[in-house]
Structure 1
Amino acid sequence: MEQEDWDALKEQMASPWGCMKLKCDGFEISLSQETDRTKKSWSTVVYVDGYLKGIWLDCDHRTGEPKHEETRRFYRKVTRALHTKKDIEAYRKIWGKRKAAEAEAVKFITYDWSWKSFSSLKKHLLANNTSVARISEI
């Protein structure tokens, strides 16, 4: 894609109801801005070939290795702590600093099909796909 296409896409995605279709290495992806009433924000949701399949979010939660190609190419990796800070403090009291530090280092990795930042989405698409082309506005 040319820089003017990226600028048009960014402008389209600047509103809460923007939509755009792209062709990425044989996959047709639809980028759609969707609002969240409870958080009063919006995010870009990525539909691959017209679908959001929950099976695509499946991965090895310890290493983050995705099981599907669609996951690696289009979805956002999310890393969270497995134990809460309250639990870590309890572990520190019970087992000591070393065990608490080991428990604190354990992370839970999953994937999400929504992106809050357009620049992060653009960077991810360019890094994980050899060709990205604009199809049209929806």
Structure 2
Amino acid sequence: MKLTKEQKEELAQKLRLPWGRVELLCDGYTVTLNVERYKELSFRVVIYVNGKWDGKWFDAKKEFPEQKFLRKSVRQLVSTAERKKAEKAFGKRAVAKDKFWSGSITIFTCDWLSGKAALNHLCKVCESVQVAPNKESTELAA
């Protein structure tokens, strides 16, 4: 079961304000989205899986099930301008075969620019995305 368009808009609205918070149940994991301070006057949406994030999840060389919730970032090792200089010096074939000149690095990060982007990613990668039941209302009912 995925989130409806109205639910996504409501949750994204909560994540527009500083220190906003949304809890979701995604494929059996509790995923928390928090709006936190990133820089002096800048905020980002930070994702927590089962109440935490672990530094080992950020390394793309190892696979963890929690990585699917994180933002994947692929960067070239060398800028395009430097690569073109190398192609002139060494030839296109040599540069294309060399791992340094044509290589890239992949990392996972736990922050998103907006709540809408984070919600869209979760709906894309997860089979089931639901709003977590409110802990306060369940405690009052008991």
TM-score for both structures, normalised by structure 1: 0.79
Match of 1:63 in 2: none
Structure 1 pair 119–10 and aligned structure 2 pair: CA distance change class (3 A): closer
Partner Cα distance (1:131, 1:90) in 2: 48
- For 2:32, the aligned partner's letter is S
Q: Is 1:125 aligned with 2:126? A: no
Q: Aligned match of 2:67 in 65, 71, 76?
A: 71
Q: 1:17 to 1:137 in 2, by over 3 A?
A: farther
Structure 1 segment 46-125 matched on structure 2, within 5 A: 46-60=47-61, 67-72=63-68, 74-85=69-80, 87-88=82-83, 90-101=85-96, 104-125=101-122
For the Cα contact (< 8 Å) 1:46–1:75, is it kept in 2? yes
Q: Give the distance between the partners of 1:84 and 1:137, measured in 2 at CA.
A: 49
Percent same amino acid at aligned positions? Answer: 27
User: Which stretches in structure 2 are left out of the alignment for 5+ residues?
Assistant: 137-142
Question: How many corresponding residue pairs?
Answer: 131
The match for 1:43 is 44
Instruction: Report if the CA contact (8 A) 1:89-1:100 is conserved.
Output: no
What's the TM-score, normalizing by structure 2? 0.77
Q: Distance in 1 between matches of 2:15 and 2:113?
A: 11
TM-fit CA distance, 1:90:
4.9
RMSD: 2.5
Stretches of structure 1 lacking an aligned partner (at least 5 in a row): 61-65
